[in-house]
Structure 1
Amino acid sequence: MIPVCRTEDLPEGGSVRIEIDETTPAIAVFHTEDGFYAVDDTCSHQDASLSEGWAEGCFVECPLHAALFDLRTGAPTCLPARHPVRTHEVGVFDGMVHVRPAVREEAVA
Structure 2
Amino acid sequence: MNNWTDVAAEADLFEGAGIPVAPGGRNIALFSVDGEVFATDNLCTHGNASLCDGFIEGHEIECPFHQGRFDLRTGAPTCAPVTEAIKVWPVKVEGGRVFLDLA
TM-score calculated relative to the size of structure 1? 0.84
Instruction: Output the CA distance in 2 between the equivalents of 1:78 and 1:67.
Output: 5
Instruction: Output the CA distance in 2 between the equivalents of 1:95 and 1:60.
Output: 24
Structure 2 residue aligned with 1:10: 13
- RMSD after superposition: 1.3
Structure 1 residue aligned with 2:83: 82
Return the structure number with greater strand share.
Answer: 2
Aligned identity (percent) is 37
CA contact (8 A) 1:38 1:90 kept: yes
TM-score calculated relative to the size of structure 2? 0.89
1:61 matched to 2:62:
yes
Higher relative contact order (CA 8 A, sep 6+): 2
Instruction: Output the CA distance in 2 between the equivalents of 1:39 and 1:84.
Output: 10
Instruction: Output the CA distance in 2 between the equivalents of 1:49 and 1:9.
Output: 18
2:53 partner amino acid: E
Residue correspondences, number: 100
Larger Rg: 1
Q: Structure 1 unaligned runs (5+)?
A: 104-109
Runs of 4+ in 1 over 6 A off after TM superposition: none
CA contact (8 A) 1:68 1:77 kept: yes
